[in-house]
Each structure stands twice: as C-alpha cells, then as structure tokens.
Structure 1
Amino acid sequence: MNKMDEQNKSVWKNVIENAVMLYPAESVARFLGRNYSKIDRAVISEMKALDIGTGSGRNLKALLDYGFQSYGIDYIADACNIAKNNLQGYKNLKEIYCGNFTEYNFNMEFDVILIFGVIFLRDVKSITNDLLVINKLLKSNGKMFINFRTTYDYLYQTGQKIDDNTFILENEYKDAVYSFFNLDEAKELLINTGFKIENIEREDYYKDNLHKHNSWWMLQVTK
C-alpha cells in the first residue's frame, strides 16, 4: 500500500468509527430502481454485484435487498468487521473481502459494480489505473455506478495542492487525498478507460448551517 493509501486509510478509519452509516445513499437507490426494479428477482438472484469501498456496508445492503449475489471489499479492517456485523443473516452475502481491490484476484466478473464515495480519494494517475482494473471486473453490458467530487465542492482548492485536480486536505478530513473534476474531465476519465456513459446526474447539498457545499457527479456506465 502506498503512502497516499496509508494517509486515506488512517483518515477514513476514524470517519467510519465515528459515524457508522446504515442506510443506502439515495443516488444508489435511484440507480438500482432505474435499472433493476422491473427485473424478476429470480433473474437477479443469478447476477453478481460488487461494492468497492464497502465502509459500514450501507450500499452493499441495497444490493443484498435487491437479491444480487453480493460481494464487498474495503481496505480498512474495522470497516470490514462493521459491515460483516451489520449484514449478518443475508444468505446472498457471498463475501466481504478486506484488502485493496486492485490487488485482489476475484476470479469472476460482475453484472453490477458500485464504487461510491471512494474513487476520488487518489490522484488522477491512480484513479485511471483503478478504472482500468474495474473495467476488467465488469461484465460486457454490465453496469457500474460511480461518483466524483466536482470542482464546485467546498473542499476544492483547499489544503496542499498536488496537481490541478488533487489536494491533501487540511480540514475535518485532514491529510486525506482528494481529487476533483469538472464534468468533461470525469467523462474523459471513464471513456479513456473503456466505459460507455449511459446517465449523468449531479448531486448538491449544503450542510453545517449552509456553510459547506457538497457536490458530486453521479455516472452510470457500461462497457
């Protein structure tokens, strides 16, 4: 694991321990509803789904509720343990792996991949390499749901600048590595790593008495 991953691992270990999230992200629920709500559950039960960056398991739970043969992976051991504890009892939970997904041999392809809230926690070169690995894991005509922090986000251009997109933050996510993208940059990353874009959304909300503007691109892709 490189220095950048070690920095993020330390930051997010504290975040997960201090705020265990139990419910799926609304945008993930929309993605699943848009694509799988009308598919027979017997068909879904034969499909494989992977949640990369499982955290406490909130989005993996959504995959399980839909009936997918579901897998999760996270490189923070405490997160894996929390997710396993939260999701025990689901018969369609196949495995929660603890480790870096780029180094794990899954020996299978997936019909659905979620990578929500994690892809942008690296520099652009590393993100590109990650997307190339994910492309190999996704079945032909499979679907991936992914989000990127936008350049409208309150964290953009804060902390130590690494390059035009990437910063080491100095706020509540102190020492975390974050990359931010305008829409053309996000689209180019996905297209250049072999994905076809099917749907784009932008999600914005303000928190802490309207002082902090969170902003993400949400993209549904296939290959």
Structure 2
Amino acid sequence: MKNNNTPAQSGGCFRLKTLNFALLCAMATWGSAHAAPYVESGRAGDPGSWRSAEFKADWGLGAIGADYAYAAGYTGKGVKLGIFDQPVYAAHPEFSGSNKVITLVTSGIREYTDPYIPVKAGDAFRYDGSPSVGSDGKLGAHGTHVGGIAAGSRDGGPMHGVAFGAQVISADNGDPGPEDGIVRGNDGAVYKAGWDALIASGARIINNSWGIGIT
C-alpha cells in the first residue's frame, strides 16, 4: 500500500534515513564548494569540444546528438523547463547555480478517492516540494532523477542534463509512487493545479512521466 506520510509522521527510522541522506548531500555540496571553478571547454561550431567526461557519463547525450546542438548554441539557456512529477530536490549537487530549481506551491480540493493512499474526494491538498515516501519506504526520487536527465548542470560534476542551461520549475503531481498496476490513480484537481501553476510560471516545456508499474 502506498504511504503518503510526511517525514515527521513516519517514525524514527525514517528520520534517521533522512538525516543520513541530508549529511551525504551536505558533504557532496561542501566538496563541490571547494573545487576549482569550472571552465567550459565547449566551443561554438565544434561538437567534439563538448564531449567531456561529464558528457560521456550519459550515453543518451551522444545518442541524440546533443553535442551538435551545443555547438550550434542550443543549451537551454533562458528556457524554463517544467517538471511535473515527484518533487525535484533543489539542493542536489547536480542543480548548481543560482535559482536553478524553482519549486511551486499548489493547493485545492481533491476530486478522487485513491485506494492506495489515505486520501479521499473532498480532502484539501497542498504541495510545497516536501518529499513523499513511497510504498517501499524510500523518499520519492523520480522527479529529481528526471530533472537531472533533463537539465542537470554542466559544471564538471559526475553528469549533466540535455538542456543543462535551462531553469527547472518543479510542481508535485501528488504521486508518492511506485505505481501498483492501477490506471486510475491521478487526481484531476491535483493535476489541474499543477499544470496551471507551471503555465503561469512561464514554463516553455512541461515534462510528464507516464506509465504503469507492473508489480
């Protein structure tokens, strides 16, 4: 059964896991803060110059010809990219840079009684970027994963996203995941609030990850 509890409601074991997770992230951030400033080696008109170790860490970048796009001047700079998913963890080291990730707050009244999480039609909802806990007891990380693939910063770190220059606008779709083989599991009111907020934010592209997990 899905668990939509907040961290404060999930017991000492979860708080300990969260503390360990926070410490690891803090250590990663501390290490990057003391690294030498990143110097971009990519040059206009030269696709090969963009194929750094960071680029090669994701085979997909080469598969879609992202190096040619970068050489032509397309990096996502100036574009707001909406991620409608589990929240994108803005403090993750792969989202370096000022205001790289903006988290939207959405609220309203539910239209759907979900049999897998303790909510029902008529309940109020509010999403502010706080991570949800999946049925496996782990923090929902899918939105962060998707955000990294789409727009993780190119800064000399372990990897970067396709549109590394884009700003990520994160809206929570209310799904703690993973799916349990159900089709109807997305509340129309939650989705309308998220899409409306992303549109109002100026997001040029909105990514949704659709699929049903077969357990």
TM-score range, shorter chain: under 0.3
Q: TM-score, normalised by structure 2?
A: 0.27
Q: TM-score, normalised by structure 1?
A: 0.26
Quick check: which one's strand share is greater?
Answer: 1
